């Protein structure tokens, strides 16, 4: 590397970062190199303890807030200066990979380690945050930690949301915080007028573009909007052998009518609108009983609020019109508006990629991220590294050690510039 590259950026250690990622990937490992590490579980806590050990060895102080967001802080020379933040999440999809989320946390830690090792002191403090429950697979919706921190939704408003086993988020959070009672508490959010100076989240791309174009770095300009809904179709349970079809109120059949109508209504010839039904639950879920209830999720995304708004608003009407003899409720559980990142942070990431001579391009994100909520209260941006074959939310997710290290060097340079 040329001499203009700061020593702290040169100190980013590809092997150390890869080793940490692989050690973390053992916690919740599933077949096929995947990870299943759900938010606020014993596995989540085990992974966090590993992270804390590494952070303390790098001279960082560790705190946790009331939403269980975990903070690793390296002081700057100006104690009153607003910090520069980086981070992501440590929870995974149920059949997730080794990099979604955890890469951004480990990359932030790698920056702290590189600063420590090179004896570099920044003016502003640098903080690495691991946000709670970004994926939303144990407790829906996702991004609970960053929503609570940014003031978008109070953490108490999530308390009654139950996981598949009926455990309430409020109880899981209380259990988790009790298990981390030895970690000093910090207030949730920030004092009025004391917003962070900037936030940069490093993440795998989770799509095919960087690899296809031979690029090393995506400089993320914004995130498309998302809306989540939960549809509950209610009928009556009945005997499959004795109940004439004409007399049934069969929730499976009406759910199928609703799904077919939704697929038609959400069709987009341009293939920009993303309509996904990824979870379907049937009650009583017995092959010789007519179903009395079907509950399914809807994940709807589009980069333009003027499209996402009306398409999402149409969902309830489409469902109701499709039913034959059951009833249905449609509840919106999550909404994240399309986000444009801060031009100054985007420029810092792009400048860092250029200074480090990484092949890069500006690009939007199709996935949502905690950065979407941070950006409501602080200047935010993201850096992407390639995903092999664009695969993510899948055990086969892969990014090579050198690609991950390149992203961390860009993150380090951009954070240093913003913290100067
Ligand atoms: C994040 O995991 C998303 O679903 O975009
Ligand atoms: Mn993620
Ligand atoms: Mn994800």
Q: What's the pLDDT at 154?
A: 98
Dihedral sign for Cα atoms in the order 401, 404, 410, 415: negative
- Is the peptide bond prior to 141 cis by the omega test (within 30 degrees of 0)? yes
Q: What's the pLDDT at 2?
A: 45
The residue ranges of the chain whose pLDDT is under 50 are 1-2
Answer yes or no: is the C-beta of 334 below 6 A from any ligand 1 atom.
Answer: no
Closest atom of ligand 1 to CA, residue 226: 5
Q: Residues of 330-347 as b/e, b for ≥16 C-beta within 10 angstroms?
A: bebebbbebbebbeebbe
Closest atom of ligand 1 to CA, residue 301: 5
Answer yes or no: is the C-beta of 378 below 6 A from any ligand 1 atom.
Answer: no
Report phi then psi at 415, rounded to 5: -65, -40
Report the separation in Å between the CA atom of 108 and the middle of ligand 2, taken as the mean of its atom positions.
14
Q: What's the pLDDT at 291?
A: 98
CA distances from 4 to 10, 124, 348, 356, 419 (A): 10, 21, 16, 9, 17
DSSP codes of every residue in 116-179:
HHHT---SS-EEEEEES--S-SSSSSS-HHHHHHTTSS-GGGGTT-B-TTS-BHHHHHHHHHHH
Of the candidates 310, 321, 231, which has an alpha carbon nearest to the alpha carbon of residue 276? 231
324 contacts 253 by C-beta, under 8 angstroms = yes
* CB-proximal residues (5 Å) to ion ligand 3: 100
CA distances from 79 to 227, 356, 416 (A): 40, 29, 16
Answer yes or no: is the C-beta of 163 below 6 A from any ligand 1 atom.
Answer: no
391 vs 158: CA distance, rounded Å: 31
Answer yes or no: is the C-beta of 367 below 6 A from any ligand 1 atom.
Answer: yes
Closest atom of ligand 1 to CA, residue 135: 2
Q: What's the pLDDT at 4?
A: 74
Q: Secondary structure of 4-52 in the HEC alphabet? A: CCCHHHHCCCHHHHHHHHHHHHCCCEECCCEECCCCCCHHHHHHHHHHH
298 vs 135: CA distance, rounded Å: 15
Closest Cα to atom 2 of ligand 1: 135
254 contacts 235 by C-beta, under 8 angstroms = yes
87 vs 106: CA distance, rounded Å: 8
Which domains are present in the chain?
7-224+338-419 (3.40.630.10), 225-336 (3.30.70.360)
Q: What's the pLDDT at 58?
A: 98
């Amino acid at each position: 590397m040329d001499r203009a590259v700061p020593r702290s950026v040169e100190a980013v250690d590809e092997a150390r970062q890869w080793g940490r990622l692989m050690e973390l990937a053992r916690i919740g490992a599933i077949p096929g190199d995947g990870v299943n590490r759900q938010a606020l579980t014993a596995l989540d806590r085990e992974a966090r303890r590993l992270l804390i050990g590494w952070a303390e060895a790098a001279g960082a102080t560790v705190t946790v807030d009331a939403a269980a967001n975990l903070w690793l802080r390296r002081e700057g020379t100006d104690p009153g200066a607003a910090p520069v933040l980086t981070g992501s999440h440590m929870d995974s999809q149920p059949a997730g990979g080794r990099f979604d989320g955890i890469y951004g946390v480990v990359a932030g830690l790698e920056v702290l380690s590189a600063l420590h090792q090179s004896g570099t002191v920044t003016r502003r403090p640098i903080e690495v945050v691991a946000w709670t429950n970004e994926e939303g697979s144990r407790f829906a919706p996702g991004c609970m930690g960053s929503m609570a921190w940014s003031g978008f939704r109070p953490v108490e408003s999530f308390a009654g949301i139950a996981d598949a086993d009926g455990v309430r988020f409020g109880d899981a959070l209380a259990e988790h915080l009790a298990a981390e009672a030895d970690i000093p508490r910090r207030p949730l959010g920030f004092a009025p007028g004391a917003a962070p100076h900037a936030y940069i989240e490093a993440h795998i791309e989770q799509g095919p573009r960087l690899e296809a174009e031979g690029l090393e770095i995506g400089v993320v300009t914004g995130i498309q909007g998302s809306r989540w809904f939960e549809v509950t179709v209610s009928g009556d349970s009945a005997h499959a052998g004795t109940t004439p079809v004409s007399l049934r109120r069969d929730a499976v059949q009406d759910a199928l009518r609703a799904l077919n109508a939704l697929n038609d209504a959400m069709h987009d010839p341009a293939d920009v609108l993303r309509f996904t039904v990824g979870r379907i639950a049937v009650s009583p879920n017995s092959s010789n009983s007519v179903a009395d209830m079907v509950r399914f999720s809807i994940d709807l995304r589009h980069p333009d609020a003027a499209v996402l708004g009306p398409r999402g608003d149409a969902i309830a009407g489409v469902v109701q019109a499709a039913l034959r003899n059951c009833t249905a409720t449609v509840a919106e559980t999550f909404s994240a508006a399309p986000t444009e990142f801060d031009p100054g942070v985007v420029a810092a990431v792009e400048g860092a990629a250029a200074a480090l001579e990484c092949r890069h391009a500006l690009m939007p994100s199709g996935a949502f991220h905690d950065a979407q909520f941070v950006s409501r209260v602080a200047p935010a941006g993201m850096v992407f590294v390639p995903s092999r074959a664009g695969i993510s939310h899948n055990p086969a997710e892969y990014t090579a050690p050198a690609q991950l290290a390149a992203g961390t060097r860009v993150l380090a340079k951009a954070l240093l510039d913003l913290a100067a």
